[in-house]
Amino acid sequence: MNLTEQLRYELSRTINTLRRRYANTSDAAEKKTIKGTIQALNRKIAVLNQAALLDAANTLSAATEDLERVVAAARTGPFDGYLAALEGHLANLYRLSGAIHEHDALAPAPEGESEARIVVSRRAPSVRPLRRGLEVPQATKDYKLLKNEYQAYYDSCTVRPEWKGNVAYYVKRLKQGRATYEQVGRDLNGIPWAFIGAIHGMECGFNFAGHMHNGDPLTARTVQVPKGRPVTGDPPFTWRESAVDALTMKRFHEVRDWSIPHMLYLLEQYNGFGYRMRQLVSPYLWSFSNHYSKGKFVKDGVYDPNAVSKQCGVAVMLKAVLA
């Protein structure tokens, strides 16, 4: 089954669990909540029949909220495994969320011209014309030279109308994890929660059952690059253990400048300066905004100027929650 079919299947299983509970509970308020949720999930299944993958992600996010309301409504027993079953459904939905975003994740952006193989004509445009006063990205990694550029792009960044719904999904998921991100940030000398959450969203689709490094399951060390993380401890790992390892591996716990320009510099560095060194706008930062139209690395070392990023850029996320 493809990912959309898996999502439909999991929602159908969830409806069956809810129907069994509806038949067995005597709590009128809970029955009303369950009935409304079953109707809502059936509508979502109908939508999924024609949904694109990231539209399916939006539907999935709304479905998890429906289920969380049902869990909160369950006040009286006996539960007979009902809550455990709902927890299992939620875990599967979160796993599918991560898989959906991993499917469209941005590949690393290598810096050297010799490392990149162009698969479509270079003459194809890869960025939208920039607003007056904005220059093309400078081909340098010197932060002192880039600070004002980052600020200018950030200040003039707006969400493209056709992507507003997708941005809303990312922002919602980012805010849902805020308490967890804040705790990790406090433990690592004050890393901002939104910075942590934006990386989590880009690297593994906000999936708390996967390593923050790349979305691999927490039941073992990472298999994808970076491989073999965390190097200490024994699996299964908690998400916090993995997040701490990912952030300290990049030495983010030693950073003291958490201004917007410096955060954007660190985030672009996280994915790679390959776009910048070709004077292209990085979709890792600006996808879904007025600064980006198309062009991305579709896999390591392969750049396609006509491919379109289907992930929300981290700068767009930051501006939505920090503005």
**pLDDT at res. 138:** 94
The model's pLDDT over 6-47, given as tens digits with 9 standing for 90+, comes to 888 999 999 999 999 999 999 999 999 999 999 999 988 888
| Residues 14, 40: Cα–Cα separation, whole Å | 12
The answer to whether residue 79 is domain-embedded is yes
Q: pLDDT tens across 82-107, in order?
A: 988 888 888 788 777 766 666 666 77
90 and 208 within one domain: no
Does residue 97 sit in the same domain as residue 134? no
Local structure of 306: helix, strand or coil? coil
My answer on whether 150 and 242 are in the same domain is: yes
45 is written with which tokens? 């299944």
- Is the same domain home to 128 and 270? yes
* CA nearest neighbour of 290 among 104, 156, 103, 175: 156
| Same-domain pairing of 270 and 306 | yes
Answer yes or no: do 95 and 198 share one domain.
Answer: no
Indicate whether 125 and 168 sit together in one domain: yes
Q: Which of 61-65, 116-120, 181-185, 294-298 has the lowest mean pLDDT?
A: 116-120
Closest C-alpha to 46, from 36, 33, 35, 55? 55
CA–CA separation, 86 and 74 (whole Å): 11
Do residue 92 and residue 129 come from a single domain?
no
At residue 45, the 3 state secondary structure works out as helix
Is the pLDDT higher at 48 or at 300?
48
Residue 108 lies in a domain: no
Residue 53's pLDDT is what?
Answer: 64
Instruction: Work out the average pLDDT over 304-310.
Output: 90
Domain boundary residue among 103, 137, 166? Answer: 103
Selected residue with higher pLDDT from 97 and 273 = 273
pTM summary value:
0.75
Judgement on whether residues 267 and 285 belong to the same structural domain of the protein: yes
Give CA angle at 249 (300, 287), nearest 5°.
45
Position 154 scores a pLDDT of 97
Do you find a cis peptide bond into 137, omega within 30 degrees of 0? no
Say if 165 falls within a structural domain: yes
121 and 257 part of one domain: yes
Cα(255)–Cα(249) distance, rounded to whole angstroms? 12
pLDDT for 114 equals 43
* Residue where a domain stops, chosen among 103, 134, 161: 103
| Same domain (yes/no): 192, 259 | yes
Q: How many domains does the chain have?
A: 2
Segment 186-209 shows an average pLDDT of 93
Domain that holds residue 82: 3-103
Residues 123 and 200 in one domain: yes
Confidence of residue 121 (pLDDT cuts 50, 70, 90): very low
